[in-house]
A and B are shown apart, each in its own frame.
Chain A
Amino acid sequence: MSSRIFAGQCASAGFAEGPVHVARSAPAGAVRHAPHQCDADSERARLAGAVETALAAIAALMAQQVGEAAEILEFQTAMLADEALTEPAFAAISQGASAGEAWSGSMAAMIGDYEAAEDDYFRARASDLADIRDAVLQALHGGGEADLPPGCGIYLAEDLTPSRFLSLDWTGKGIALIKGSATSHVAMLARSRQIPMVVNLGEVPARQGEAALLDAAAAHLILDPDTAERRDFADAEQAFRAVRTEKDLDALRPAVTGDGEAVSVLINIADPSELVDLDPAICDGIGLVRTELMFSGRGNLPDEEEQFAAYRTILDWAGNRPVIIRSLDAGGDKPIPGYTLDGETNPFLGLRGVRLSLRRPDVFRQQIRALLRAAPFGALKVMAPMVSTPDEMRAVRGLFESEADDLARNALPYKIPDLGMMVEVPAAAYLFDRFNVDFGSIGSNDLAQYIMAAGRDSAEVSNLARTDDPAVLHAIAAAVEGAKRRGVSLSLCGDAASDPALVPALLGTGLRALSCAPRAVGAVKRAIGAYRGIEA
């Protein structure tokens, strides 16, 4: 008995070994015909019912996903709900076909059309259509593989649909596909969950349960490996893990300076989808959720329900770790059609951040309601950007209380979260203790540009707006003092917090909480560990 090697394309790097499970190659029930007469009316009703069932199943799966995975399923839902998709099948039923035949036939035509596309990306969408086809066939005929059999190490199939991927637990397993593509949705999902996957292997005549090794980094599947191959595999896997783990280990350690002082390290995000493959254990919380992405580039602003769902998703991920959500920060270099002002000569000094929010209470109140309703589900804090005067914070607090009263009158659950502010306007940095806030966070990008009077948007002068300029550090230190006098916490969430080289200067101001980009956590914690303060 000798080993056999098959080469494909890497869709998601990693290593897996174990018995091969050869999946059934035909989609469930594709060839079975319902054993009754093809009465057009009842076949139409059967197909319509199956489409409804499939839509409900996809919706149920979508409810458990965030980000990319949810978008893929949203795409499938939109396609399946489109009359243009089901029209040809209904027409075929009128010609005498059974629901199953009509559906398989019309979907085969569309799938074939996509598979023939010139563009790799559009070719990869064929797999989504196959997913939809199977979902409806399953509803029509029943059947379809349930869970992965126990002891399955490597799943070998012709292709794999996103919804099937999402409905199974792949921990410790690998995926080997005869067809498939590295740009497919399912490949993206496998990468984000770090499940090893190789595609385009071509025919693999494997025996059910045969021993196998999957080296997804080199894109090889080895059936019935010999000792030398097993050894090489183990070495390659160890090397791979070492690189991956080394990066992660530093991120998981608590951040303590060389003097033994603890520093909070939090992360900045802009969208729930960024949390998909992040381990909450790397951080002490989320120091900044930028809500602008939810608002920009759309024809309509997201409604209260959509916002509520997104905030809840983030809070669920964080568990009992604090989550600081920043209210809409638009204007300046962040325009939103129909919301921000056009034609300001000095947008950075204009109607932006909380100023704009207070001027557009219709939009602000909607966000506030969504935040109030999400607050009971975690440790939520809310901060307002570009605050310059204590009156602005009073107004913000007033709106929260007003919306809370309304929710109370309607017997809806809510909680008023801790309310704080971004410290980015010099007025706020220097007199931070004038502000009635529960916490603050320094927006070093904007603070540096205002202190140095140099725009971030101008290549000519942006080099002046350095966070480690003594004048900027002086302003930060003033804010730190103000926060101490006020007895509230102060963090820094600007880009500077993600730069390990700036950590000593930031810690030197007295800051002991930094919120950085998730991928910078390890490096920032290392820099914190190396810092020793010098007693003046």
Chain B
Amino acid sequence: MTTSACVLLRHDVGLHARPSVKLTKLAKTFSANVELALSEDGPWIDAKSIVKVMAFKAPKDTVLHFRADGADADNAVQRLIDLVESDFGEGGV
């Protein structure tokens, strides 16, 4: 069963190196297949591959679409959404 959701990327410089490392690191903690696209119709790429995520060169205000299937798919999608929403933890505490 596939879970999917989308979130607005608000990060100033877009999906650059530091956020990409955090995103792929997080995606890799799940056993589910996790994919990322810039539109509902794809093209979908492996969200655990930093090469592929960086290749999007997604700028600020892009909508990121996540989908996952596998045992922890729901959790995977939720946590990835949270990560993007929290601006990758760079808002400062």
Query: A residues touching B (Cβ–Cβ < 8 Å)?
Result: 71-72, 74-75, 78-79, 82-85, 113, 117, 119, 121-122, 125, 128, 185, 270, 290, 292-293, 296-300, 334, 337
Is the Cβ of B21 less than 8 Å from the Cβ of A74? yes
Q: How far is the CA of A300 from the CA of B80 in the complex (A)?
A: 11
Q: Which of A75, A117, A297 contacts B88 (CB 8 A)?
A: A297
Judging by beta carbons under 8 Å apart, are B17 and A298 in contact?
A: no
A85 contacts which chain B residues (CB < 8 A)?
51
B28 to chain A, nearest CB (A): 10
CA distance A111 to B93 in the complex (A): 36
The reply to whether A78 and B57 form a contact with Cβ atoms under 8 Å apart is: no
A243 to B51 Cα, complex, angstroms:
43
Q: Given that A74-B21, A270-B93 are known contacts, is A337 also in contact with B82, CB under 8 Å in the complex?
A: yes
Do the beta carbons of B16 and A122 come within 8 Å of each other?
Answer: yes
B32 to chain A minimum Cβ distance, whole angstroms, is 13
For the complex, would chain A's binding face be called helix, strand, loop or mixed by DSSP majority?
A: helix
4 further A-B contacts with Cβ under 8 Å, apart from A78-B25, A125-B16, A297-B86, are A75-B20, A78-B50, A79-B54, A300-B26
Which single member of A78, A293, A300 contacts B29 (CB below 8 Å)? A300
Contact A297 B89 (CB under 8 A): yes
A82–B14 contact, CB under 8 A?
no
Asked if A290 meets B82 with Cβ closer than 8 Å, knowing A84-B51, A122-B16, the reply is no
> Could you tell me if B14 and A121 are in contact, using CB atoms closer than 8 angstroms?
yes
Task: Tell me which of B25, B50, B55, B93 contacts A296 (CB under 8 A).
Answer: B93
B49-60, CB under 8 A of A: which get 1 and which 0?
111101101010
Contact A71–B18 (Cβ < 8 Å): yes
What residues on A are CB-neighbors of B80 within 8 Å? 299
Tell me the smallest distance from the CB of A133 to a CB of chain B, in Å.
13
Q: How large is the interface on B (under 10, 10 to 19, 20 to 34, 35 or more residues)?
A: 20 to 34
Q: How far is the CA of A79 from the CA of B48 in the complex (A)?
A: 11
**Whole-angstrom distance from the CB of B1 to the nearest CB of chain A?**
21
The interface centre, meaning the residue of A84, A113, A121, A292 with most chain B CB atoms within 10 A of its CB, is: A84
Distance between B77 CB and nearest chain A CB, rounded to angstroms = 11
Q: Which residues of B contact A296 (CB under 8 A)?
A: 86, 89, 93
Bound together, the chains give a CA A78 to CA B92 distance in angstroms of 24
B22 within 8 A of A: yes
- Closest partner residue, chain B, to A329 (CB atom): B93
Complex CA gap A296/B54 in Å reads: 23
**Which of A78, A85, A270, A296 is most buried by chain B, counting CB atoms within 10 A of its CB?**
A78
Q: In the assembled complex, which residues on chain A have CB atoms less than 8 Å from the CB atom of B55? A: 113
Q: What is the interface of chain B mostly: helix, strand, loop, or mixed?
A: helix
Question: Which B residues from 9 to 59 make CB contacts under 8 A with A?
Answer: 13-14, 16-18, 20-22, 24-26, 29, 46, 49-52, 54-55, 57, 59
Decide: B89 and A293 in contact? CB cutoff 8 A.
yes
Closest residue on chain B to residue A113 by CB atoms: B55
Q: List 29 A-B contacts (CB under 8 A).
A: A72-B17, A74-B21, A75-B18, A75-B20, A75-B21, A82-B49, A82-B51, A82-B52, A83-B49, A84-B46, A113-B55, A119-B59, A121-B13, A121-B16, A125-B16, A125-B17, A270-B92, A296-B86, A296-B89, A297-B86, A297-B87, A297-B89, A297-B91, A298-B26, A299-B29, A299-B80, A299-B83, A300-B29, A300-B79
- Residues in B with CB closer than 8 Å to A334 are 93
Question: A257: shortest Cβ distance to chain B, in Å?
Answer: 33
Interface residues of B, Cβ cutoff 8 Å to A: 13-14, 16-18, 20-22, 24-26, 29, 46, 49-52, 54-55, 57, 59, 79-80, 82-83, 86-93
In the bound complex, CA of A290 to CA of B93 (Å): 9
Chain A CB count within 10 A is highest, among B46, B52, B54, B86, for B54
Contact of B83 among A79, A128, A293, A297 (CB under 8 A): A297
Residues of A within 8 A of B17 (CB): 71-72, 75, 125, 128, 185
CB-CB < 8 A to A71: which residues of B? 17-18, 21
Chain B residues lying within 8 Å of A121, measured Cβ to Cβ, are: 13-14, 16
Flag if A78 contacts B16 (CB, 8 Å). Answer: no
Residues from chain A with a CB closer than 8 A to the CB of B24 are: 78
Asked if A337 contacts B26 (CB within 8 A), the reply is no
What's the least CB distance linking A66 to chain B, in Å? 15
Which B residues are CB-close (under 8 A) to A128? 17
Q: Is B83's CB under 8 angstroms from A122's CB?
A: no
Closest 4 CB pairs of A and B: A297-B89, A299-B79, A84-B51, A299-B26
| Residues of chain A lying within 8 A (CB to CB) of residue B87 | 297
A71 to B17, CA, bound (A): 9
Minimum C-beta distance from A153 to chain B (A): 32
- Candidates A119, A290, A298; contact of B89 at CB < 8 Å: A298
Q: Which residues of B contact A292 (CB under 8 A)?
A: 93
With both beta carbons as reference points, the residue of chain A lying nearest to B76 in the complex is identified as: A299
B41 → A minimal CB distance (Å): 22
- Chain B neighbourhood of A74, CB < 8 A: 21
With the chains together, A34 CA to B26 CA distance in Å?
40
Which one, B21, B26, B79, B86, contacts A78 given CB within 8 A?
B21
User: What distance in Å separates the Cβ of B81 from its nearest Cβ neighbour in chain A?
Assistant: 10
Task: Determine the distance from Cα of A72 to Cα of B14 in the docked complex, in whole angstroms.
Answer: 17
Note all chain B residues with C-beta closer than 8 A to A119: 14, 57, 59
Inter-chain CA distance A131–B52, complex, in Å, is 19
Roughly how many angstroms separate A299 CA and B81 CA in the complex, as a whole number?
9
Chain B residue at smallest Cβ distance from A330 = B93
Closest CB-CB distance, B60 to chain A, in whole Å?
Answer: 10
Give bound CA distance, A299 to B14, whole Å: 19
CA distance A337 to B75 in the complex (A): 12
- Per the bound structure, the CA–CA distance linking A297 and B90 in Å amounts to 7
